[in-house]
Amino acid sequence: MSGESCGLLHAARDDDRVFDRVDYEGPVARWCSGCGDHSVLSAAQRLLAEKQLAPENTVFVSGIGCSSRFPHYMKTYGFHGIHGRALTIATGVKLTRPELDVFVVMGDGDCISIGAGHWVHAVRYNVDMVALLLDNEIYGLTKKQTSPTTPQGYKSNTQPRGSYLPAMNPLEATLGITNASFVAQTAEWIPAHLFATLKAAYEHSGFAFVRILQRCPHFTADIFGEAAKQPDRVEILEGPGGIRVEALDAIYKNKVEHDSSDLAHARALAQDMTAIRLGIFFEDESRPRYEETRSIPQHSAHEKMELLEKEFERYAV
Amino acid sequence: MKLPTVGDRTPTDQDVTTYTVDDKSVEIVSDSGEGAQKCGQIFGAVSAKMGNGVWTVEIIPAEVEPPPRNPAGASGIRVRLGSEPVTNWGDETNLVIAFNEQALLGRHRLNALADDATILIENMWATHPDPEIRDQWSAAMEELSEKDYRIVEVPMEDACLDVVDNPRRGKNMFVLGMLAWIYDRDLELCRAQIADAFRKKSPEVTERSHRLLESGYRWAGEHLDFRYRIPTMESKREMVVMNGNEAIALGAVAAGLELAAMYPITPATSVSHMLGDVFERFGGVVHQAEDEIAAAGVSIGASYSGKCAFTITSGPGMALKTEFLGLAIMTEIPLVVVDVQRGGPSTGLPTKVEQSDLLAAIFGQPGDAPHVVVAPATIEECFHVMTTARRIAEVLRTVVIVLSDANLATGVAPYPRPLLSAEWQSTPPDQRPIPEGQRPYDWDPDTGISRRFIPGQLGGEHTVTGLAHDERSKVAYDSAVNVRASTMRSRKLAAFQSTLRPPPVNGDEHGDLLVVGWGSTKGAIEEAVERARREGLAVSSLHLTFLSPLPPGLKEIFSHFTKVMTVEINYSDELGDPFITEQNRRRGQLSWLLRGATLVDVDCWTRVLGEPLRPGKILGAIRDNLPKGGSA
């Protein structure tokens, strides 16, 4: 951000408060037991504690859906908005208050379906925030309807003979958007990887898009529920610009060498949906950030009125 | 039809008759892209600067470049000049300058021209090499002969060729020169106004335009036998001249609004053009969003963060923003929404005026969504309404919808230069830490008003939600909370309404007929009422600025008139039409509203002609609708 219009990003606080994870914990979450949302909530609270973010300067914005209850369970500022539009609200927050840390939490219906237009443009705007796609490949809150990421043939209440079309590939789509600057995938059932990915996303300057593969114990338990028990199905991206979680080496042995600055390779890796590939697919901090494309001057009320008087001269009779 | 009188002789000074009039309309019509509007705007601005009352209205086809020489594609502008302030576009036009006969036919067929109008028309088409065009010309002249027009052929293209290579670019400045001679305009002012209009183009454009201006002026002086003098009134106040969209944009700056998010839509877009030009110099942000919904979302996000933001759109965009308006009302986030109304439903008449969004603006949000709706009536009010709207939005923590329309958006008129005050730029919201125990919706039981918590405020952490919620902003589904929260949101409107005054009656406070209007029709209605009163009719009018909540005292005011009738630019059934009865008649939108609010049998006279109401037509409606036994 330009220093002229706002404070420095992630500026150190000038008080001596020390935050613990519990300082970010709101009321007990009302998600189902076994829901992946719990894991993401914990990782986010751990991240905030690690980064010592002041709760009052942190905003979680969400849309509508199971995962969009997320802000209610944080003890920060939160905005539980409307279905599909979280990114627009977050953009408004960040354009006016760039010094705030903004996290957006969306489900697959929220982000990929009803809010798809905003997702595409938010990626292009590249406004500095963390966007989490909590993807359980089904509509949960409304009780098991097909989502754009539901696997082809998977039965739901709206497509009882099975989803008609191949599932949308959010990673491939995001990597295809002009000006994408950070695209990663992780899984809620691997907390260490989830945390490391969220941390990298937070540290990224620009729009950090993280797809989190997630179990829904009620409606898609047989999708990621099974995968969670089979570490062999997971491939971890490693290499320059990637994240490295040594503790996972013993369990997750499949590694894919990948340089996160290599967009073509990232797209190739993202294309294959049969593999569960986790890691940073792409990162480029040099991409222009929308909020930095202009320098907005600061004027006092009196200065503005003086300028306005001059403007009126052009219209004077 | 009178024969052309020029081209074959040079009138001497003795031949020129100067008519002194206090009210005159001129239209310039052309194909799109020929610059008729630019010509009229400059002419209007110069006239305003010389002290005339002025109102200009653009005649805009919906396409950028519709097929040329087509009556439906007529593009142009009407400029009404007066000795006194002009508040509307008037009735028929008295003088027309037409670049081709087809554009002229378009206006003729809409009855836009006075029966005895003088028409100056480019005559190159009469002798065009294409026989089809020559035939069209002849047929048009035949059709035009229905009326008693005085048609004067002008070889515009030929005359321009003396000055420029491509007369299509610049014919409008030649026409401006002719107008300058006819109305005796100050040429220096014309030159200065041209230079300002083309300030972003190369100096050659201004220089060429100046030569064309002088050429047109000279040609008119050598060939025309009539001039008009419209006496000017000395104005005691300094005036500025602009259109309603420019006034809204400057009003937004004056109001201290700091973020404007929008998606291009006619006829609202020119506000964004204007803002794009000036807003960021003042420290504001203009965000062109990916769609109408996002524009609302970004505005709400900005307002939530402590600024006051606004979004600007037209009817179709309002429809798309609806869900977000409900969210802002539910979460009590201040937001100003400007709706520059156009004809509808659906894509409707994108460039033309209608007042059909009133009920949608007030009641269009699902669920109970109390908020404020205000309608500026003049270009001056377009400027000031933005400060008013911001204040109300912030004090009440709600949505304020400003209903402008295409008539105000493109109408240009002078108004007293605002005496700016830095106090209009409200101070930023209180950012001090929230004291222990204070809640984000501590509704004052009498007013429903509560303090706004802003991100960054220590101790104020909470999550706003569109779900039903209690004072702590906690999701709550129980009846008591829902009833209380609904009551508090509604009470804000009642508390606000208690601060409004009854609107002033224009004319006597007792009479046979009270005409009630809202929005941009004020000038035309008041002119019609004044003419009716000069005829001895006991007619008054009332103009409403606040539509939600309605101001107090309406029932009392209505009770002093035998009949109350709204005049609006929206659709209503006519009694006497097939199937239409008193019960099933669909009425003008304000009429619906007033009947519900006052239980008075408010009648309506409405038109959806795709043009501003003409005072003469309103006068006709007044005569037709006077209750029997009235004073006429």
With CB atoms and an 8 Å threshold, state whether B250 touches A308. yes
H helices then E strands: how many in chain B?
Answer: 19, 23
Q: What is the mean pLDDT of residues B212-220?
A: 96
* Strand, helix or coil for residue B496: helix
Contact A96 B307 (CB under 8 A): yes
Nearest CA to A111 out of A157, A74, A61, A160 is that of A61
Other CB atoms within 10 Å distance of the CB of residue B421: 11
Residue B467 contacts A, CB cutoff 8 Å: yes
Q: What is the pLDDT of residues B564-586, one digit of tens each?
A: 999 999 999 999 999 999 999 99
Among partner residues B51, B250, B460, which is closest to A56 by beta-carbon distance?
A: B460
Question: Do residue A92 and residue B302 have CB atoms under 8 angstroms apart?
Answer: yes
Nearest-Cα distance to chain A for B259, in Å, is 8
3-state secondary structure of B360: helix
Contact map slice: A 157-186 vs B, CB within 8 A: none
pLDDT at B8 over 50: no
Residue of B nearest to A24 (CA): B461
Is B13-229 a domain of CATH 3.40.920.10? Answer: yes
Quick one: average pLDDT of B32-46?
A: 92
Tell whether B77 is within 8 A of chain A (Cβ): no
DSSP one-letter string for B53-105: EEEEEEE--SSSSPPSS-GGG-EEEEEEEESS---S--SSEEEEEESSHHHHH
Assign residue B86 a region (left: φ > 0; alpha: ψ between -120 and 50; beta: otherwise): beta
Q: State mean pLDDT over B228-255.
A: 91
Count of CB pairs separated by less than 8 Å, A with B? 187
Average pLDDT of B141-162? 94
Q: Which residue of B has its CA nearest to A313?
A: B240
User: Given CB atoms, is A11 within the 8 Å cutoff of chain B?
Assistant: no
Q: How far apart are CA B399 and CA B92, in angstroms?
A: 40
Q: Does the pLDDT at position B151 exceed 60?
A: yes
Query: Could you give the angle at which helices B36-49 and B171-182 cross, rounded to 10 degrees?
Result: 30
- What pLDDT score was predicted for residue A1? 32
Res B1 pLDDT > 60: no
State the DSSP code for B341. Answer: E
Q: Does B305 touch chain A (CB under 8 A)?
A: yes
- Cα end-to-end span (Å), chain A: 41
**H or E element in which residue B219 lies:** helix B203-223
* Least Cα separation, residue A79 to chain B (angstroms): 5
Work out the mean pLDDT of chain B and round it to a whole number: 93
Establish if B48 touches chain A: CB-CB under 8 angstroms: yes
Q: How confident is the model at residue B74 (pLDDT cuts 50, 70, 90)?
A: confident
Of A8 and B359, the one with more pLDDT = B359
Asked if A30 reaches chain B (Cβ–Cβ under 8 Å), the answer is no
Q: What fold does the segment set A21-292 form as a domain?
A: Rossmann fold (3.40.50)
Collapsed DSSP state (helix, strand, coil) of residue B111 = coil
What gap in Å lies between CA B127 and CA B92, rounded to an integer?
Answer: 30
**Which of the four CATH numbers 3.40.50.11030, 3.40.50.970, 3.40.50.1110, 1.20.58.220 does domain B241-420 have?**
3.40.50.970
Residue partners of B217: CB distance under 8 A and separation at least 6: B177, B178, B180, B181, B187
Give the distance, in angstroms, between the CA of residue B333 and the centroid of all CA atoms in the same chain. Answer: 28
Percent of chain A with pLDDT over 90: 87
CB contacts under 8 A, A 259-298 vs B, are: 294, 296-298
Chain A residue numbers with beta carbons less than 8 Å from the beta carbon of B48 are 317
- 3-class DSSP assignment, residue B549: coil
Q: Does position B427 have pLDDT exceeding 80, yes or no?
A: no
Contact assignment for A92 to B238 by CB distance below 8 Å: no
Closest chain B residue to A4 measured between Cα atoms?
A: B283
Neighboring chain A residues of B294 at a CB cutoff of 8 Å: 85, 88, 91, 117-118, 121
Pull the structure tokens for residue B20.
Answer: 């002194």
In chain A, what residues touch B280 (CB-CB under 8 Å)?
Answer: 294, 296
Does B240 reach chain A within 8 Å, measured CB to CB? yes
B241-420 and B505-625: identical CATH topology = yes
Mutate which of B234, B246, B305, B379 to test chain A, going by most A C-beta atoms within 10 A?
Answer: B305
* CA torsion angle B29 B30 B33 B36 (round to 10): -30
Does residue A2 sit at the B interface (CB-CB below 8 Å)? no
| Identity of the amino acid at B222 | E
Tokens of B447: 């007013």
* Region of poorest pLDDT, from A102-111, A288-297, B492-501, B529-538: A288-297
Provide, for chain B, the percentages of residues in helix, strand and coil under a 3-state DSSP scheme, each rounded to the nearest 5.
Answer: 40, 20, 40
Chain-centroid distance, C-alpha A100: 16
pLDDT at A9 over 50: no
Q: Say yes or no: domain B505-625 is CATH 1.25.40.10.
A: no
In the predicted model, what is the mean pLDDT of residues B384-394? 97
**In sequence order, which residues have a C-beta less than 8 Å from that of residue A126 and are 6 or more positions away?**
A179, A180, A181, A206, A207, A287, A288, A289, A290
Residue position matching structure tokens 């489900």: A107
State phi, psi for A316 to the nearest 5 degrees. -65, 140
Residue B456: which of A57, A95, A317 has the nearest Cβ?
A: A57
The answer for residues whose C-beta is within 8 angstroms of residue B620's C-beta and 6 or more apart is none
In order of A191, B30, B73, B204, B560, the CA distances from B164 in angstroms are 75, 19, 26, 12, 64
Phi and psi at A107, nearest 5°, equal -90, 180
Residue-wise pLDDT tens digits, A156-195: 999 999 999 999 999 999 999 999 999 999 999 999 999 9
**The pLDDT value given to residue B10:** 52
Give chain A as a DSSP string: --TTTSPPTTPPPSS-----GGGGB-SPP-SPTT-HHHHHHHHHHHHHHHHT--GGGEEEEE-SSSGGGGGGGBSSEEEE--TT-HHHHHHHHHHH-TTSEEEEEEEHIIIIIITHHHHHHHHHHT-SEEEEEEE-SSBTTTTSB--TTSPTT---SSSTT---SPPP-HHHHHHTSTT--EEEEEETT-HHHHHHHHHHHHHSSSEEEEEEE---TTTSTTTHHHHHT-GGGEEEEESTT----GGGTTT---EEE--TT-HHHHHHHHH--SSEEEEEEEE-TTSPPGGGSS------HHHHHHHHHHHHHTTB-
- What is the residue extent of each domain of chain B? 13-229, 241-420, 434-499, 505-625
CA dihedral (A185, A187, A193, A198) positive or negative = positive
- B301 with A55: Cβ contact below 8 A: no
| Nearest residue, CB atoms, B324 vs list A57, A60, A85 | A85
Facing residue for B309 by CB, picked from A61, A85, A92: A92
Rounded to whole angstroms, how far apart are CA atoms A125 and A115?
15
Inter-chain CB proximity B282 and A61 less than 8 Å: no
- Tokens, residue B324: 């977000």
Contact A88 B296 (CB under 8 A): yes
pLDDT tens per residue, range A13-60: 668 899 999 999 999 999 999 999 999 999 999 999 999 999 999 999
The Cα angle at residue A50 between residues A48 and A52, in degrees rounded to 5: 60
Nearest residue, CB atoms, A82 vs list B287, B302, B324: B324
Residue B284, chain A, CB below 8 Å: the answer is yes
A61 touches chain B (CB under 8 A): yes
This prediction has a pTM of 0.94
Residue of B nearest to A23 (CA): B461
Helix (H) or strand (E) holding B277: helix B269-278
Would an 8 Å CB–CB cutoff place B324 in contact with chain A?
yes
Percent of chain B with pLDDT over 90: 86
> Rounded to an integer, what distance in angstroms lies between the CA atom of residue B460 and that of residue B437?
10
**Taking a contact as any Cβ pair under 8 Å apart, which residues of chain A between 111 and 130 contact chain B?**
117-118, 120-121
